[in-house]
Chain A
Amino acid sequence: MGQAGGHPAAVQTPHTATGLDNRKLGMWAFLGSECLFFGALISSYLLYRGRSIVGPYPEDVYDIPYTSVSSFVLLMSSLTMVLALNAIQRGDHRKLRAWLLATALLGITFVGGQVFEFTVFVKEGLTISRNLFGSSFFVLTGFHGAHVTVGILMLLTLFGQSLAGHLPTERALRVELIGLYWHFVDIVWIVIFTIVYLIP
């Protein structure tokens, strides 16, 4: 087994019917179900779009340059996440911790930006109960933000485990599973950014 691409030093085929690790299979099944969860929220947003009878309306509150920077931050956190996985698979635990911390910090920056954005919207009169746009927007982006927050907590847990020496190379799957969750949260934002913010 080559190491050029940074694949695990010793991949063992799990003793399961599929030959795949059940935890990873479970994570993919969970992510498949999450598509339906976010699909419901995005559909609700689309259903209510343009049906608010009082303002503020999207064009009154959206700050595209600001949200673009937030999107870029989250996108780059996917890079640091995959580099963290690559580091543990190569047995480089110092780099693993550095990339995990970088991912968590980028995630915190994104969530912080979202909290700031929400605060500005509320100051401009858009609350969750103000109109249909407010209700669907805050529920959709709020649930996404909650997912990012859970991801940050898991990343910091991994960081702590690595510091305590409880995350050896043989347990790289833990990083991979949390990485899958993190990338999923990123691709959901890719959809939200386009459908909610960019498409008029």
Chain B
Amino acid sequence: MATREQAETHADATLPPEDIEHPGPRQYVVVAVVLAVLTALEVALFYMDFIPQPVVVGALMILMILKFSIVALWFMHLRFDSRIYRRLFITGIILAISVFLIVLLTFGVFLRD
């Protein structure tokens, strides 16, 4: 069984490190429990009127990014698969964020509120 380090070296040589051991069912269940707890936290934050709104928005964004990353890294196996897949997906995300951030800033969406 190749280790993660060996596989990373392979990735640099464009060989796929696809024989890294994937997690087992127990680990997947633990990841799902973490995701459920984070979701519960998000909903709880929504109802916490005593916290200033910018803090709530910031916390919600952080939780969203955390959940997004956990699903992509563990359930979609980006943490274990070839770096090429990761690069393809991240390129799409960065492109989308940059293009639409420019659009939103141009229309002053963040200044309106």
Give the interface of A toward B (CB within 8 A): 1-2, 4-7, 11, 13, 18-20, 24-25, 28-29, 31-36, 38-40, 42-43, 46-47, 49-50, 64-65, 68, 71-72, 75-76, 78-79, 81-83, 86, 89, 179-180, 183-184, 186-187, 190-191, 193-195, 198-200
Contacts and interface: CB of A to CB of B under 8 A. Distances in A.
Contacts of A194: 42, 60-61, 63-64
Contact of B18 (A11, A180, A183): A11
Interface in B18-63: 18-25, 27-29, 31-32, 35-36, 39, 42-43, 45-46, 53, 57, 60-61, 63
A198 B23 contact: no
B27 to A, nearest CB: 8
Report whether over half of chain B's contact residues are helix, strand or loop; otherwise say mixed: helix
A43 B100 contact: yes
A78 B71 contact: yes
Contacts, number: 153
Give the size range of B's interface with the partner.
35 or more
B76 to A, nearest CB: 5
B90 to A, nearest CB: 8
Given A46-B109, A191-B68, A83 B96 contact: no
A5 B85 contact: no
Nearest to A76: B32
Contact of A32 (B35, B91, B109): B91
Q: List the 8 closest pairs (A to B, CB-CB), nearest first.
A: A32-B92, A39-B96, A35-B92, A79-B32, A5-B21, A43-B100, A194-B64, A35-B96
Contacts of A82: 28, 74-75
Given A46-B109, A79-B32, A184-B76, A198 B60 contact: yes
